[in-house]
Structure 1
Amino acid sequence: MRTRLTLLVAATTVLVLLAFLVPTGLLLRQVARDRALGQADDVIQTIVPLAGSDPGTLRLVVTAQAVPVTVFLPDGTTVGAPATATPAVRLARGANQALTVATGAGRELVVPVVGAAGTSVVRTVVTDAELSRGVTRSWLTLGGLGVALLLLGLLVADRLARTITAPITQLGAVSHRLANAELTARATPAGPPELREVAGALNHLADRIHHLLAAERDRIADLSHRLRTPLTALRLEAESLRDPDESARVAAAADGVARAVTAIIRQARRDVTTHPASCDATAVVRDRVAFWRVLAEDTGRAVTGSLPDRPLRVAVAADDLAAALDALLGNVFAHTPDETPFSVTLAARPDGAILTVADRGPGFPASAAARGTSGGDSTGLGLDIARQIATTFEIAGGPGGAVVSLSLPTP
């Protein structure tokens, strides 16, 4: 935009300068020509009264002139600069009329003078150099003035464009910072009134987003805290069971829910702008697979997979990655028959990692990829939990099995 404004001003300035300088240059050339012809005419008018006087006096006056002048006397002799009678001289003598004739050397001025002895003709020639004397210097001066005015116009246009584009650039930078979850970013109102209004609206939007996210965190934390009371009661109920195995199983489930509630509270309180999330994906996936392997053995499911033999850092919080993998494996157990094998694979990629969960069940219906839909009487948010942490989320497979792939970004 800055370049376009500068080019627009440059084009306008050039047109204005051309409209001013071209006529001025032509006028200066005409003025120089008229001045040279006028000086020559003044010289001739000085000599005309002396054309019929004493030849000695005439010769003295003619030779004293700054321009070459020739006087053709009636007897055929000449006084002044040597020259032959030209057609213009003969025509002026015959017609008894002053003439100005263009020649190859410039302009020829002839004036007849009628005397007692006959008609004399005063002649002078104004060369092209004299006709254009000073014109080139004047044109160069006008050209330099035009260039200076153009540069000045470009400088002013650039400054003006900068005052307009700088606030727009700042607004764009603030928008990108807000998009990157930097909720403290604010725009400084500057520039024209319209841009100031946009900056104010962007700041109001940022404040509104900040308040809404804070309110959402408070509601999530409050809901999580409310869940602690029934979880405590559930744990007490588990401890009162007479069957130790049943008591341990229920207590373990209650502890799992408690850990999930704690993770929700931490996630709600976490500031992603000051504490970027990251974790060792290998350790998290290995831990969750070990957790689900116990249930898989109880339901006769074969568990296979492949994990890296080294730590693999990804830009995802450990709680979020664990929740996403739990959601995917939970779908496997909820929507496939017992004894259905499944696999979990984690592989490194140049831009992060890819996590794949595959099973040999009936596969996903066509609507499963839609957010918030489910065919198992659930909320349908299991896949959405996994989708939120991935840069790309793909579902493939049909009746022969389902494959869910998540691309995890690097920190």
Structure 2
Amino acid sequence: MRRRILALVAATVLLVLVAFAIPLAVLIRTVAVDTALSTATAQAQSLTPLVATADRSTMQPTVELADDRNSGDVSVVLADGTVLGAPAPRSSLVELGLRGVSASTEAPGGREMVFSVQGAAAGNSVIRVFVPDAELTRGVTRSWLLLGGLSIVLLAGGLLLADRLARSLVDATTDLSGVSEQLARGDLAARADASAPAELGVVARALNGLAGRISELLREERENVADLAHRVRTPLTALRLDAEALRDPDESARISSGVDGVQRAVTGAIEQARRRGGEGRAADAAAVVRERVEFWAVLAEDTDRSVTLELAPGPLPVACSPGDLEACVDALLGNVFAHTPDGTPFGVWLAPRSAGGARLVVADRGPGLPPGADPTSRGVSGGGSTGLGLDIARRTADSAGGTLTLGSPPGGGLQVELELAAPPP
């Protein structure tokens, strides 16, 4: 597109220059020739009264002076053939002038002009002026060079302006294309440059509005799913406790299995909704963790759980999307509520890492992990766990260039430590 615009502008400027520069160059040469011939004619006319009335001795110094001052040759041919001033051949044009006819013609090396002077007692005389080619084209070459230079400057200026215009159009178009590709890949944080020229700016603003609307709809969907999950988990926990309280082991296992299936479906719905968010690969861990802890604090109050919080003020940028980090925190806190009795205290700690990023710790005073269990494997766990929660946290840590570590804090329970790297510069 850029090359096509430059080619179009170059062709247009060249056509305009050709249409004006060539006639102007011809006019310059014509004016130069006319000026030289007019000067020669005026010189000859100034000598006419002298040649018509004065004698030879009076004419000779005047004609010689006129020849010296003129860039061409000035001669006076008398009726008897005597030549005063510059030497001059007795050409056919001179013969014609002696007969009383003034004329001019092209001659080798220039232009020959003769002016017949009549009325002298000795007969007709001729004033001959020879204008060389150098005089006829004086200043023409310089004017042509100036005209050519001006044409080049105009062409270069036109191409420069066209290049800047084409660059702005191409850059704006490329930006729109790149943003469209980012949105197609799910990065809804991408935005086009709304200051693009003309109609491209309108398209950019419309695309940004569309991306914003899609982000808003997806955010509403995720919040609805999260709210639904929050409402469902509490009765599910109650059902699990009722199932565990049954005296018949088979009946208890059957009902617990059903509860686990519903729990797995709810957790999967949360994960899927979070991963459709399409945010950029960077999030403020301080803001996200604080928001999710406030969300779960309501359920903690309902279940008589004390919460210990030590959250860095932030911002703490980490290399994962806000949606993934929210899903991770929800999974860790959801596990606390799902696998510890009501009234079990827990704590959340968030601090910056020395190498950049953040360190998140979630610990509780519950029963801890079953012996020999690997709860970070998807769908594999023990103690009634679905195996999805810690798997979400592990994959979040992997995607953020960090690690997930499980341990037991002093006094028992479970401690999950999540290392999250900083986003690339």
Q: TM-score range by the shorter chain?
A: 0.5 to 0.7
- Whether the 8 Å CA contact 1:167–1:189 is kept in 2: the answer is no
- SS of the counterpart of 2:191? coil
Partner residue of 1:377? none
Return the alpha-carbon distance in structure 1 between the equivalents of residues 269 and 155 of structure 2.
65
Task: Name which of 132, 140, 143 aligns with 1:127.
Answer: 132
Cα pair 1:100 1:109 within 8 Å, conserved:
yes
Residue among 212, 216, 241 paired with 2:217: 212
Aligned residue pairs: how many?
Answer: 290
CA pair 318-72 structure 1, distance change in 2 beyond 3 A: farther
Contact 2:64–2:85 (8 Å) recurs in 1: yes
SS across alignment from 2:130: strand
Structure 2 distance, partners of 1:121, 1:33, is 23
Residue 141 (str. 1) matches residue 146 (str. 2): yes
Shift of 1:253: 5.1
1:244 lines up with 2:249 in the alignment: yes
Q: Counterpart in 1 of 2:14?
A: 14
Instruction: In structure 2, give the amino acid aligned to 1:54.
Output: D
Counterpart amino acid of residue 84 in structure 1: P
TM-score, scaled to structure 2: 0.59
Aligned to 1:62: 63
Name structure 2 gaps, 5 residues minimum. 283-319, 325-373, 382-389, 396-425
Query: Partners of 1:145 and 1:240 in 2: how far apart?
Result: 99
1:157-210 deviation per Cα after TM superposition (whole angstroms, max 9, x unaligned): 334445544444443343333333332333443244533432332222112101
Alignment correspondent of 1:178:
183
Counterpart residue identity of residue 146, structure 2: T
What TM-score do you get using the length of structure 1 for normalisation? 0.60
Q: Mark the runs of 5 or more structure 1 residues left unpaired by the alignment.
A: 278-283, 292-316, 323-411
Deviates more, 1:44-53 or 1:73-82: 44-53
1:145 and 1:158 map into 2 onto residues whose CA distance is 20
| Cα deviation digits, residues 48-90 of structure 1 (max 9, x gap) | 2233421122211111122312222222222222222111112
The verdict on how the C-alpha distance between 1:136 and 1:318 changes in structure 2, with shifts beyond 3 A counting, is farther
Partner AA of 1:23 in structure 2:
P
Q: SS where residue 102 of structure 1 aligns?
A: strand
Indicate the residue corresponding to 1:76 in structure 2.
81
Residues 1:4 and 2:4 aligned together: yes
**Contact 2:378-2:391 at 8 Å conserved across structures:** no
TM-fit CA distance, 1:24: 1.6
Which residue of the other structure, out of 92, 104, 108, is the alignment partner of 1:104? 108
Distance 1:212 1:318 in 2: 27
Contact kept in structure 2, 1:263 and 1:319, CA below 8 Å: no
CA-atom RMSD in angstroms: 3.5
Equivalent in the alignment of 1:86? 91
The residue matched to 1:112 in structure 2 has which SS? strand
**How far does residue 39 in structure 1 lie from its aligned partner after superposition?**
1.3
Map of 2:29 onto structure 1: 29
Pairing 1:8-407 to 2, within 5 Å after superposition: 8-52=8-52, 53-65=54-66, 66=70, 67-94=72-99, 96-114=100-118, 115-225=120-230, 227-228=232-233, 231-232=236-237, 235=240, 238-239=243-244, 244-245=249-250, 247-248=252-253, 250-252=255-257, 254-269=259-274, 273=280, 274=282, 275=320
Q: Any idea what SS the aligned residue of 1:126 has?
A: strand
Rounded Cα–Cα distance in structure 1 between residues aligned with 2:246 and 2:220: 40
Deviation at 1:13, TM superposition (A): 2.5
Structure 1 residues 288, 217: CA separation in 2 closer, same or farther (over 3 Å shift)?
A: closer
Q: Alignment partner of 1:64: what SS? A: helix
Q: CA offsets, 1:108-153, max 9 Å, x none? A: 1012222222222221211111111110001111111222222233
AA aligned to 1:263 is: G
Q: Which amino acid aligns with 2:256?
A: A
Structure 1 CA distance for aligned equivalents of residues 25 and 38 of structure 2: 20
Percentage identity across paired residues of the two chains:
50
SS at match of 1:51: helix
In structure 1, distance between residues paired with 2:221 and 2:215: 10
Match for residue 298 of structure 1?
none
- Kept in 2: contact 1:73–1:121 (CA 8 A): yes
